[in-house]
Chains A and B, each alone.
Chain A
Amino acid sequence: MGLSISASAAIIFIASVIVFGTLLGAFDNVQTSYLDAQRDAQDRTNDIMNTEISITTLDLANGTLTIVNKGETTLAASEVNILIDGKLADDRISSREVYGAVGSDLWMPGETLILTLSGNLTDASFMVVCGNGVTAYL
């Protein structure tokens, strides 16, 4: 009788250890995933809060629109979209150049992005959207 109880207890104990290990691993995985996702979301929110762009000039003669990065986040020039009179007009951008950094895709704080646009721009309304969704209007 004693041996039966001891053997059963040993089996249950080993099973409990396995269960504990499995659940501990699962909880650790959940916590890691959750914290990573939370940190990424927080980083994203911080980026958006630290981003500010502003359209400074529109040169109708040359068809250029200059936008300054007034925030604290480095943006990507290639991710900038433009809406002219409410319609997506990325295909009208003939060149996008960060002033003083020809060929660079990095649009750093304080730098100016110059978009050269084709077509008639007279009396048009502009909306510029950068990669993280922050916008500027003219």
Chain B
Amino acid sequence: MAADGSFTQMLFFIAAIVVAVSVSGVLIGVSNSMAQELKVKAESTSDQMGTSIQFVNDPRHVPYEDGSLILYIKNVGDITLNCKEIVIFIDGQYINDAFVVSANNNWLVGEMIEIRANATLATGDHLAKASMANGVSDSMDFRI
């Protein structure tokens, strides 16, 4: 009888320890995931706040020749960007045929890049918008 009681107590003890360890494992796992997510989110927010681009075309003379619009954009933020990530919209339309005239993907702070956007534009007022992968963008009104 006493042996049965000890055995039962031992079972309860082991069960309690197993449950406690499982709960602890889950808690630690979840907290590690949260910490990792917070770190990723912080890096993303930090990158976004450090990113700033600006059109530096002369709005009086935006070059447009043979269906190719030349846009000059400067990295005026705090971090080096990847210039291949930039996307161009003209009058709200995504320009698929736009390429950066640069051999290097690294777009250093203070550096200006040239983008050639091939689009058919009528004479008149237009709006160009450049957007980075992290959502930071700049726009410029111009006339051709």
Interface residues of A (CB under 8 A from B): 1, 3-5, 7-9, 11-12, 14-16, 18-19, 22-23, 25-27, 29-30, 33-34, 36-38, 40-41, 44, 48, 76, 79, 81, 83, 85-88, 125, 127, 129, 131-133, 135, 137
Contact = CB atoms under 8 A, between A and B. Distances in A.
Contacts of A41: 49-50, 52, 78
Interface in B5-26: 9, 12-13, 15-17, 19-21, 23-25
Contact of A129 (B20, B23, B34, B56): B56
Contacts, number: 129
Given A23-B31, A88-B112, A4 B23 contact: no
Contacts of B24: 11-12, 14-15
A30 B49 CA distance: 13
A125 B61 CA distance: 9
A23 B35 CA distance: 6
Interface residues of B, number: 46
Interface of B: 9, 12-13, 15-17, 19-21, 23-25, 27-28, 30-32, 34-35, 38-39, 41-43, 45-46, 49-50, 52, 54, 56-58, 60-63, 70, 72, 74, 76-78, 110, 112, 114
B110 A1 contact: no
Contact of A36 (B21, B23, B46, B58): B46
29 contacts: A5-B16, A7-B16, A7-B17, A9-B20, A12-B24, A15-B23, A19-B28, A22-B31, A23-B34, A26-B39, A29-B42, A30-B42, A34-B46, A36-B46, A40-B78, A41-B50, A44-B77, A76-B110, A81-B74, A81-B112, A83-B56, A83-B57, A83-B72, A88-B72, A88-B112, A127-B58, A129-B74, A129-B112, A132-B76
A26 B32 CA distance: 9
Contact of A133 (B27, B42, B76): B76
Contacts of A9: 20
Contact of B12 (A1, A37, A83): A1
Contacts of B34: 23, 26
Mostly, the A contact residues are helix
Contact of A86 (B20, B27, B52, B57): B57
A4 B77 contact: no
A30 to B, nearest CB: 4
List 4 tightest A-B contacts by C-beta distance, closest first: A86-B61, A15-B24, A26-B35, A8-B20
